[in-house]
Structure 1
Amino acid sequence: MNNLEVVQNLYKWFSEKEFDQIRTILSPNIEWIQNKGFPNGGIHYGIDQVLSGVLTNFKKDWKSWNAIVNQWLDCGDAIICLGYYHGIHRITEKSIKAEFAHVYWLQDSKIYKFQQFTDTLIIQKATEKE
C-alpha cells in the first residue's frame, strides 16, 4: 500500500468505525495535532490517545460527523487532504460545514504525524445554544 492509499484508507475506516484497522496504519508514537478550539483540540501522542481522545469522541457530542476530502495531494512522504467537515451537533442540532486542510507524514506506510488546519470558530458556534 502506498502512502496515498494509507491515508485514503484512514478516512474510509474512520467513516466505517473500523478502529482496529486504523490501528494498523498509525505509528505507535504518532503525534496528532488538532487546532485549539476544535473538539478535543491540542496535541495527542500515541495510538490509544488518538483513538480514544480524538476519533471515537466525536460520537459523544455530534449526531453526525464527516470529513469529506475533495482533493488529495501526494507529496511523497507527506499527503495533504483538502476538504470540509460536515456535522450536526447532538445538543444544539446545529449543522456545520467547515473547510479543512489535513497534512499527514508517513514512514514505512505508517502515519507518524498529523496536523489539522480549519476554522474552529464555525465549529464552536455550532456548539453554542442560542
Structure 2
Amino acid sequence: MIEIPRETAAFNESAAPADVVRRQYLAWARGDLAALRTTLADDVEWTEMAGFPLAGTYRTPKSVTSNVMERLAAEWQGWTAHDDTYVVDGENVVVLARYTAVHKTTGKPLAVRTAHHFVVRGGRIVRFEQFTDTALVRAAMTA
C-alpha cells in the first residue's frame, strides 16, 4: 500500500499514476466534472462492467462524464466511490473501494465493494475497468 498525498501543489501537478487516479476521485467527489476530464486521456477506454446499469465502454472524457458520472448523479442520491486502498505497479493502479448511495426511485440504499483498475500513461488515465457485485446494485434499483 502507498501513501497518497492529499491536496498539495506537488500532488495537484504530479503525473505519478496514483496521484492522477486520486485527483480523479477527488474531482468526482466535488462534482467537478471538468477537473475529472483533465485526468483522462483524449482516447480513454472507460469500461463499466457487464451487468452494471451503465455497462459499456466509453471512449472520450466527455463520453465518460456524460454516460457515467452524470447518469449516476441523476439516478442516485449521494453516489460516492470511496477509494480505500491503492495498489500500484508501474502504470497500473488498482483501487479497492466502496460505492454508497440511495436510489432516487426506490429509496433503497446501496453499499457495495468494488475494484477499479486504471492504466495511467503520460499523466492521464488511458484505461479504466470496473469490477463490482452488479446484483447488489440492481437489487437497490428494484422496487
Q: 1:32 aligns with which of 46, 63, 73?
A: 46
| Partner of residue 78, structure 1 | 92
Corresponding residue pairs, total: 129
Q: 1:46 aligns with which of 60, 84, 103?
A: 60
Summarize deviations over 1:62-114 as a string: whole Å, max 9, x none.
01211112211111101100011111000111001111110000110100000
| Long gaps (5+) in structure 2 | 1-13
> Which secondary structure state, in structure 1, belongs to the residue aligned with residue 58 of structure 2?
strand
Partners of 2:30 and 2:117 in 1: CA distance: 21
Q: 1:69 aligns with which of 77, 83, 86?
A: 83
| Partner of residue 15, structure 1 | 29
Higher strand residue share: 1
RMSD over aligned CA atoms reads 0.9
| Long gaps (5+) in structure 1 | none
Q: Does 1:110 align with 2:124?
A: yes
TM-score by length of 2: 0.87
Structure 1 residue 37, shift from structure 2 partner: 2.0
Which 4+ residue blocks in structure 1 deviate beyond 2 angstroms? none
Partners of 1:28 and 1:56 in 2: CA distance: 19
TM-score by length of 1: 0.95
> Which secondary structure state, in structure 1, belongs to the residue aligned with residue 50 of structure 2?
coil
Structure 1 residue 45, shift from structure 2 partner: 1.1
State the percentage of identical aligned residues.
26
Partners of 1:84 and 1:25 in 2: CA distance: 21
